[in-house]
Chains A and B, each alone.
Chain A
Amino acid sequence: MQVLMFLLKRFGWMIVTVWIVFTISFFLMRHIPGGPLNGERVLSEAVRARLEARYNLDAPLSEQYFTHLWNTMRLDFGPSFKLQDYTVNEVLAQGLPVSAALGILGMVFAISIGMTSGVISAVRRNSVYDYSFMLLATLGIAIPNFVLAAMLIVIFVFNLQMFPAAGWGDLNQIILPAFCLGAPFAGYIARLTRTGMLEVLGNDYIRTAYAKGLSPRTVVLKHGLRGALLPVVSYLGPAIAGILTGSLVLERIFVIPGMGSHFIEAAIQRDYTLAMGALLTYTVLLFVMNTMVDLAYSIIDPRVKLE
């Protein structure tokens, strides 16, 4: 019941947020001269009128706003301004699964690498492992992912020739971008896990677990890790937002036909309907992810109340 109330409330706020984003981008789109129809080519009056009718640009502004809002509510983002013969929905439906696969794999990399090195660092505190992992973690946080990607491309693609340079579809093609996407977050997660583990491992119940004869592996992985998980889970929200933005650049570097590529391309080409559709999708995605993280948090730690 409490969970249901929480979800309902969140849903309400999501609607408000999406509406605000919609309104801001709509008025930015319409109020700025040099719209999508004033391209390099000079259009004849008749063609212009036809195009304006097609994109519903000839109606009064308020009418345009409400028509557009109504269409958006029905999840119809209209035709793309620049990609002829495609609707925004079609483009997004093509891009979203690609981006999702990349994002999920990046997240898996981040969590698995980050938590493993964090646990090892905490258990072997002040050892060579600890120092080298933490140095790597700070490096991973400091180096922007596009710099990392560029360097890895030079090393692995051109010098060692282990991976193909770009493209999408093969497992080989996804490893490098997913690793670059996950690397900074692996660094953060490693540090958070280490700090959390160190705090937990000093607790009495860990001593009790050792005292009753459990193996060190069980103590660390079962009793220790559970307590250390909290800061990591609360970091997942920002991490997901970061993965979404990170995929913008990585999709461009590795020429992956995902949402990020389409969004950047749309922004460069001033394809407003597509950019707006992508923007709204990102907003909803972010909101849903954050809500899920909050839910997960309350499941792991019963002391946390849902608001």
Chain B
Amino acid sequence: MSISDPQKSELERLTAILREAHEVQGVSLWADAWKRLKRNKAAMLSLWTLCVIVLLAILTPALPLQSPIFQDVKNRELLPPALDSYSLGIGEYDLETDRLRAEARKLEVGSAEYVEIQEAIAARQQTHPIDLYWNNPGFITRGLIKLRLAVFGDYCIPSIFGTDKLGRDVLSRVFWGSRVSLACGFIATLVSLIIGVSYGAISGYLGGMVDNIMMRLVDVFYSIPFIFIVIFIMSFLSSPDIRLTLQEYNIDQIHVFFLLIGAIYWLTMARVVRGQVISLKNEQFIEAAKTIGATRMQIVFRHLVPNVMGIVIVYLTLTIPAVIRFEAFLSFLGMGVNAPDISWGLLVNEGVQVITILKTYWWMIAFSGMALALTLFALNFLGDGVRDALDPKLKNK
């Protein structure tokens, strides 16, 4: 009895400590960073703005917008913003098809007239306005468009942003343009992320001669004006022969373009990651990984890369706006996205081209320019916020 008493109290003491320890939540780097980011009002506002922009871009086909490419030069050339209603007219088209179907049902199966009407119906399906208005959309986009037609029918938001030189609705074009611009931002950044992180991590971890050569190469790349080389390459890609060759392999020019942009934005990322990896590679957890027999590749990609993610994310927030801006820049010069694809840079270019001394069609520049500027502005603010949030110097403040 007298022996077990101190033992018991010792046990209680230990359980009490354990319980206390359970209650104390460890604050991870990410939780702390998120907490600090949430306190930054400008960054949070930017984050929400960006979420809305991305969501709208994804859902664009399902929104009640006019066709971004349907031209009506005769009636709707360069109309200023107005609230006149506009109907897609797909309902009438479908009604006519249904009428033909009903007629076919009345006829005898197999008769000459029946075959004729069936053919007409098939032809109408083939040339359905969806393909005309949205340029043969892909599977998911088509589904969203059908959803939009089911929900909103022929209703469209009026041309509150005006129309362009070919009578196309600017509002709808700004929305559809956001898809290409944002997709470019993400895809190209992803490419640069993959190249930069692998290159930097491998170079930093292997060290020695390999590191030396790899980094010298980066130095040389740094002083090559890649923007000019991309323009050079894009001018080759846009030549008719090359375009045909690419089409044979089923490659879209726009995808090559995304990859190209990504492939030139990895240099800074590689340098930063290399620096971090060098400072981390002699830490104990790497020793531990080596003793349990992890291969080099495992050490680099399982143990080192996750630990440099903080700084990588900071650089990502700088890369995304840079890439979006670059895409806009090239499209503006006519070296990037080509019709019928739409991007914000292309829209601003169209706006600049219709400026004349007699009349400035301000709506053609203002809205696409503002969409681009707003997105870049929000990305910049968010980037600043993320950098502050992940900065260890400002931790726990």
**Measuring CB to CB, which residues of chain A are less than 8 angstroms from any residue of chain B?**
13-14, 16-17, 20-21, 24-25, 28, 32-34, 38, 138-139, 141-144, 146-147, 150-151, 153-154, 158-159, 165, 241, 244-245, 248-249, 252-253, 263-264, 267-268, 270, 275, 278-279, 282-283, 286-287, 290
Contact = CB atoms under 8 A, between A and B. Distances in A.
B232 A279 contact: yes
A282 B225 contact: yes
A137 to B, nearest CB: 10
A20 B220 contact: yes
A32 B362 contact: no
B114 interface: no
B38 to A, nearest CB: 21
Interface stretch (B125-133, B186-194, B368-376): B368-376
Interface in B100-155: none
Contacts of B355: 150, 153-154, 158
Contact of B369 (A17, A150, A270): A150
A13 B223 contact: yes
B215 to A, nearest CB: 13
B225 A28 contact: no
Nearest to B333: A264
Interface in B344-397: 345, 348-349, 351-352, 355, 357, 360, 362, 365-366, 369, 372-373, 376-377, 379-381
A138 B360 contact: no
B240 interface: yes
Contacts of A283: 223-225, 228
A131 to B, nearest CB: 11
A275 B235 contact: yes
Main secondary structure of the interface of A (DSSP, over half): helix
Residue in A16, A146, A153, A159 whose Cβ sees the most chain B Cβ within 10 Å: A146
B241 interface: yes
A21 B380 contact: no
A34 B362 contact: no
A268 B334 contact: yes
Contacts of B315: none
A267 B235 contact: yes
B219 interface: yes
Given A34-B242, A144-B372, A147-B365, A267 B352 contact: no
17 contacts: A13-B219, A28-B233, A143-B372, A143-B373, A144-B332, A146-B328, A146-B352, A150-B351, A153-B352, A154-B362, A241-B225, A245-B225, A245-B329, A248-B231, A270-B235, A270-B239, A282-B225
B223 A17 contact: yes
Given A158-B357, A268-B334, A34 B227 contact: no
B380 A138 contact: yes
Nearest to B380: A142
Given A147-B369, A252-B333, A154 B360 contact: yes
Given A154-B365, A264-B231, A249 B373 contact: no
B231 A263 contact: yes
A275 B362 CA distance: 34
B235 A268 contact: yes
A270 B231 CA distance: 11
A56 B321 CA distance: 44
Given A20-B224, A154-B365, A279-B225, A253 B380 contact: no
Given A150-B365, A270-B235, A279-B229, A34 B240 contact: yes
Contact of A144 (B224, B240, B325, B366): B325
B313 interface: no
Interface in B7-24: none
B335 interface: yes
A34 to B, nearest CB: 4
A144 B373 contact: yes
Contact of B229 (A21, A33, A34, A143): A21
B223 A287 contact: yes
Contacts of A25: 229, 232
Given A142-B377, A282-B225, A286-B223, 10 more contacts: A13-B219, A20-B224, A138-B380, A143-B369, A150-B365, A150-B369, A154-B360, A158-B357, A245-B228, A279-B232
Contacts of A20: 220, 224
Closest CB pairs A-B (n = 9): A34-B241, A142-B377, A147-B369, A267-B235, A142-B376, A34-B239, A143-B373, A150-B365, A33-B241
